[in-house]
Amino acid sequence: MADRSERSGVEILCVGTELLLGNILNGNARWLSEELATLGLPHFRQTVVGDNRDRLIALVQEIAQRSRVLIVTGGLGPTPDDLTTEAIAAAFSVPLEERVDVWSDIQEKARSRGRTPSPETRRQALLPVGAEVLWNPTGTAPGMIWTPVPGFSVLTFPGVPSEMKAMWKATAVPWFRSSGLSKGVFVSRLLHFWGIGESTLAEQVADLLEGVNPTVAPYAGRGEVKLRITACADVSSKAWVLVDQIEQELRQRTGNLCFGVDEDSLASVVLKRLGQTGQTLSVAESCTGGGLGAELTAVPGASSVMLGGVISYSNAVKRDLLSVPEDLLTQHGAVSAQVAEAMALGVRRLTGSDWALSITGIAGPDGGTPEKPVGLVFVGVAGPDGCSTEMLRLGPTRGREWIRIVSAGEVLNRLRLRLMVND
Amino acid sequence: MADRSERSGVEILCVGTELLLGNILNGNARWLSEELATLGLPHFRQTVVGDNRDRLIALVQEIAQRSRVLIVTGGLGPTPDDLTTEAIAAAFSVPLEERVDVWSDIQEKARSRGRTPSPETRRQALLPVGAEVLWNPTGTAPGMIWTPVPGFSVLTFPGVPSEMKAMWKATAVPWFRSSGLSKGVFVSRLLHFWGIGESTLAEQVADLLEGVNPTVAPYAGRGEVKLRITACADVSSKAWVLVDQIEQELRQRTGNLCFGVDEDSLASVVLKRLGQTGQTLSVAESCTGGGLGAELTAVPGASSVMLGGVISYSNAVKRDLLSVPEDLLTQHGAVSAQVAEAMALGVRRLTGSDWALSITGIAGPDGGTPEKPVGLVFVGVAGPDGCSTEMLRLGPTRGREWIRIVSAGEVLNRLRLRLMVND
């Protein structure tokens, strides 16, 4: 904990009862957090509080004791529950005064929309004595930059995301850059892994997770694990060198488990690789019911590689469309390596694609048996050099959606590995 | 501000450096806020803090002085930066002890996935002496319910949303209901609407949005709008009567725009209705690439209705698998009412289903032309009484994913309305 006699860091305070009621997602906090990280500003805490004057005053006083800068969003509008400016002034016992230029600006904006400003909007021209106006280029509610006590500054923004962002870029960023608070430039890169659990990966790179610059932090997704590398230097080129070095080290240790960086997905990586060699892809899906196709076609430009496929949810569709032999279905069951293979070969033949993927399994919650429990999935990858299948035991506990998503990831990853071998 | 000698209310604390870096949106805080509102629990503050032991300890001590209950999410995993349990124990100077039953559960879950639990996962079996285990039905990290000092309790949950939600429903809700913190019994019902915008719906029911008991609050989803009705009474039966009355009023005003309640989705509603009459369904998807099939098969038990379908992403697949005539494709283009109709009729014939849905459109970001801009989508519904198609203009601004999701919703809603007429 920061010594309260010595303020440090930037805090975010989002004001709005709608946040406490869960009516809206706090996208402002996320956006501001990313901006602070990019500016290299230390940021240790975020708070959400409702439109309540007393609680706001107490919270601002509390934050003023431990932080250097407070960024407040929300509560700057014209309605009676907009209390932010008034509460901040009261927290330091400073009176409000009307700013003539702000009131002119409000009237001007109303007029340009053919309206008369309502008397309520005039409240928005009130700022604490000594505060600087943080102009709002689009809306009527201005913000402020104010240093009510030495060593502590507060910046206010409306809760409307587009207004907040415009004001941030225009005024707050230059203010922070000149404030001397930013300790260099921060850059970061995300590495994506498939085929390893979060804890096992963390073990393999335990020493790197202890690093200070760059830092390496693990995140778990659905079947996927990510490592974020963040580095700081006086200029971005030097910071990227630090990131590159750690990335190289991480890739050396983890081999082909790392499948991409930043915005990459298994689908985008596989599509890109196929596209480079002019090859095409199709899918045959049973338990995923279209989810694999949806993931592939979520990637813009997928149509140059992805031809389509068959959702063979029923046995009749497996048989009639994909030509899966009836005796395979009766002898081994729809959830079997044999049927996965026949599905992949069938859709490849049908579409004429170079590669084909298949998935058949028991996603649950019902339909499991002792021999074929929920979470049992077979995937197939058919290509110019033949078809391989694999059995996955994903277990019943994480539910239907998880089984479907991980199945799709598993078969995409197998294709990715096959394509690497073919290189 | 609450008097510090008298604790009141519930606070949420989300732990994770990824939140402070803006890597992820704080969806957990929003979800928990909604739940607290539904339970009628007073909730005044939310905080986000990083994976930092000292700051966590100080914050927990601070909250223990002002609040009755603290809900913590995140930092329960097996990696070294997962510090939540340890820090909370340290905040009250209570030692950790290994829970034999938790360690057994972790080993059991690993075994069911064919893995050996890594030594790091054993850390997750450590809980403060005196804490109760809050079991995790899906993942390995358990939470806890602990009253370290009289009048203050802390509940911990993993940051993984699906795990947190399952644990919340199974254990936390009953605990809160029996805690006496809730002022009366709150019950709530969510109504789902399709085919109307949030602001238009809000206008139509403006007087009801002003109500105090029940309250009615609008939420916008992707293409969907929801109204949550929440009522309070001394017993739940009385509260439900209040909810029922408002629901009736809302349905009267909005006609067939309301498609379901609570966990219903367009897909589940359509599948249920078809299932009741023993009818079957198939799909032919171009721009959604499997997303419609995935939505339908996300519903457990879909297999009794949904036979499957064809992902006809390329024109060749439209022609060869769905028998869309070549001259339709050349004359009208793949994105046309004619091709949507031929796709729906083709997949219905192919699978022998009673009903068939088709989608063909331009999801962007590329591929738009002045005549056929991004966001232009045609959908088809083929059934025993013929095929109807419709043109949607979804616009380019909200992006590829939004266009795909709304297209799937639109065609499902059209089938829903057709089935209502047939009743």
Say which amino acid occupies B124.
Answer: Q
Q: Are strands B215-220 and B224-233 parallel, antiparallel or unpaired?
A: antiparallel
What does the block give as tokens for B372? 């056929």
Predicted confidence (pLDDT) per residue in B337-368, tens digit: 999 999 999 999 999 999 999 999 999 999 99
Q: In this model, does residue A1 exceed pLDDT 50?
A: no
Whether B1 is in a domain gets the answer no
Of B21, B294, B307, the CB nearest to A317: B307
Specify the CATH number for the domain of residue A338.
3.90.950.20
The one-character DSSP state at B303 is G
Specify the CATH number for the domain of residue B48.
3.40.980.10
State the count of interchain CB pairs (< 8 A) between A and B. Answer: 313
Of A228, A230, A312, the CB nearest to B308: A312
* Residue of A21, A203, A232, A407 to mutate for B, most B C-beta atoms under 10 A: A21
| Contact call for residues B403 and B375 (beta carbons, < 8 A) | yes
Query: What is the tally of structural domains in chain A?
Result: 3
Whether A194 is in a domain gets the answer yes
Of A55, A228, A313, the CB nearest to B306: A313
Beta-carbon separation of A290 and B287 below 8 A? no
| Contact call for residues B315 and B322 (beta carbons, < 8 A) | no
Same domain for A286 and A244: no
Whether B203 is in a domain gets the answer yes
Distance in angstroms (rounded) separating the CA atoms of residues B380 and B358:
5
Among residues B155, B179, B203, the one where a domain terminates is B179
Among residues A179, A194, A212, the one where a domain terminates is A179
How many whole angstroms from its chain centre is CA B394?
23
Predicted confidence (pLDDT) per residue in B214-242, tens digit: 988 877 677 898 898 988 888 889 999 99
Q: Shortest Cα distance from B1 to chain A (angstroms)?
A: 4
Task: Give me the residue label for tokens 């309540």.
Answer: A52
Whether A313 is in a domain gets the answer yes
Which chain B residue shows the shortest CA-CA distance from A61?
Answer: B1
Of B48, B289, B320, the CB nearest to A294: B289
Domain around B39: 8-179
Among residues A131, A151, A179, the one where a domain terminates is A179
Q: Shortest Cα distance from B130 to chain A (angstroms)?
A: 26
Beta-carbon separation of B404 and A1 below 8 A? no
Beta-carbon separation of A283 and B297 below 8 A? no
Distance in angstroms (rounded) separating the CA atoms of residues A284 and A340:
9
Q: Shortest Cα distance from A294 to chain B (angstroms)?
A: 5
Same domain for A402 and A297: yes
Neighbouring C-alpha atoms within 13 Å toward the C-beta of B223: 23
Distance in angstroms (rounded) separating the CA atoms of residues A402 and A223:
8
Same domain for B164 and B16: yes
Same domain for A158 and A84: yes
How many whole angstroms from its chain centre is CA A310?
31
The pLDDT mean for chain B works out to 92
Say which amino acid occupies B321.
Answer: L
Whether B150 is in a domain gets the answer yes
Q: What is the pLDDT of residue B423?
A: 60
Whether A3 is in a domain gets the answer no
Contacts of B297 in chain A (CB under 8 A): 287-291, 311, 313, 404
Beta-carbon separation of A396 and B112 below 8 A? yes
Whether A2 is in a domain gets the answer no
Same domain for A123 and A211: no
Specify the CATH number for the domain of residue A234.
3.30.70.2860
Same domain for B152 and B68: yes
In DSSP notation, A46-57 reads: EEEE-S-HHHHH
Whether A275 is in a domain gets the answer yes
Predicted confidence (pLDDT) per residue in A93-150, tens digit: 999 999 999 999 988 887 877 777 777 788 899 999 999 999 988 777 899 999 999 9
Q: Shortest Cα distance from B241 to chain A (angstroms)?
A: 23
Same domain for B277 and B236: no
Same domain for A298 and A251: no
| Contact call for residues B394 and B383 (beta carbons, < 8 A) | no
Say which amino acid occupies B275.
Answer: G
Predicted confidence (pLDDT) per residue in A213-271, tens digit: 998 888 777 889 999 898 988 888 999 999 999 999 999 999 999 999 999 999 999 99
Contacts of A404 in chain B (CB under 8 A): 294, 297-298
What is the C-alpha end-to-end distance of chain A, expressed in Å? 52
| Contact call for residues A41 and A7 (beta carbons, < 8 A) | no
| Contact call for residues B356 and B418 (beta carbons, < 8 A) | no
How many CB atoms within 10 Å of residue B393? 8
Same domain for A168 and A205: no
Q: What is the pLDDT of residue B23?
A: 75
Which chain B residue shows the shortest CA-CA distance from A365?
Answer: B300
Beta-carbon separation of A22 and B32 below 8 A? yes
